[in-house]
Amino acid sequence: MHLATPSHAIVRPPSSSYAACLREHPDPPIDIPLARTQHAGYVAALRDAGIVVDVLAEHDAPDATFVEDTAIVLDTCALVTRPGARTRRAEVASIAAALEGRRTITIMPPPGTIDGGDVMRIGRHLVVGLSQRTDRAGADALAKVAATDDIRVITVDVPSGLHLKSACSVVTPELVVVHGALGDALRRVLDPSIVLLAVPEPTGANVLGLGDRVLVSSAAPRTAELLVARGLRVHTVELSQIHLGDGALSCLSLRFAPTAEAWCV
């Protein structure tokens, strides 16, 4: 069984300030023109999967291309987040405006924090990673919103790395890829029928299942081979400059299906 293909996605290109984004290692330097070219290739891959992509104007915040962190979009509602990095909180107003009319929006109040990169949906559950960017109060705020759509939040500790989805992601409803030590924690909270596939490359832990295909970073060829061997249709995407900013496939877009009320115009 495949994941349903999102019908719509919101993206934002890297800005002229992208090289100043928050990242673990300051070297090598980021090539902004190449980052923009790679982002355009990512958008093309989404559109090739049949997704309608809304491209927002550039934002002067260095990390603003990583739109996934700024909202969690569910069936009828959305939580506009309070990012864990203080410098990213200026990004959320424009995302709230982009979601207006598409979902019932809740703006997350202080003091809790949550990044969308710490939220992985599997069916009627949201696995929320408690990380350096997401705390318990943030998970609780999301749980209140998600209950509107009868979706339950479960939490796991993220002992290292930036986000939960830096170390794992959903390929199909029955398959999750994982890199590193997070597998044991996931096994304790996920349905036993879900297969956890350990992948050899860190960049292979973040893939994007889109209906009949899965996007994989070209930096993770062995992960791509493992997924092809399981009969999956793999499309590789070049993301070297996105990875330099500690980003990956999922964090470059907000993906969702439209509600009837939002899109009957």
| Closest residue by Cα to residue 11 from 43, 59, 50, 41 | 43
Least confident of 74-78, 151-155, 214-218, 255-259: 255-259
Q: Is 77 in the active site?
A: no
Q: State the pLDDT at residue 3.
A: 83
Give me the sign of the Cα torsion angle 197, 222, 158, 72. Answer: negative
Residue 259 pLDDT grade (very low, low, confident, very high; cuts 50, 70, 90): low
216 vs 229: CA distance, rounded Å = 14
Is 224:236 a contact under the CB 8 Å cutoff? yes
How far apart are alpha carbons 71 and 100 in whole angstroms? Answer: 12
CATH 3.40.50.1980 for domain 8-260: no
Q: How confident is the model at residue 1 (pLDDT cuts 50, 70, 90)?
A: confident
93 HSE (CA, 13 A, CB side):
4
The pLDDT of residue 161 is above 90: no
**Closest by CA position to 139, among listed 167, 158, 123:** 158
pLDDT the model gives residue 258: 75
251 catalytic, yes or no?
A: yes
Chain segment 165-177, per-residue pLDDT in tens: 999 999 999 999 9
d(Cα 11, Cα 65) in Å, to the nearest integer? 7
From CA 172, how far away is CA 216, in angstroms rounded? 14
Which residue's entry shows tokens 């739109």?
67
Sheet holding 52-55, edge to edge: 52-55, 8-11, 254-256
Residue 152 pLDDT: 97
Domain residue spans in the chain?
8-260
* Active-site residue, from 8, 163, 168, 179: 163
d(Cα 208, Cα 235) in Å, to the nearest integer? 10
User: Is the model's pLDDT at 264 over the cut of 60?
Assistant: no
Helix H or strand E segment including 225: helix 221-229
Q: How confident is residue 265, by pLDDT bands cut at 50, 70 and 90?
A: very low
Q: Residue 260's pLDDT is what?
A: 40
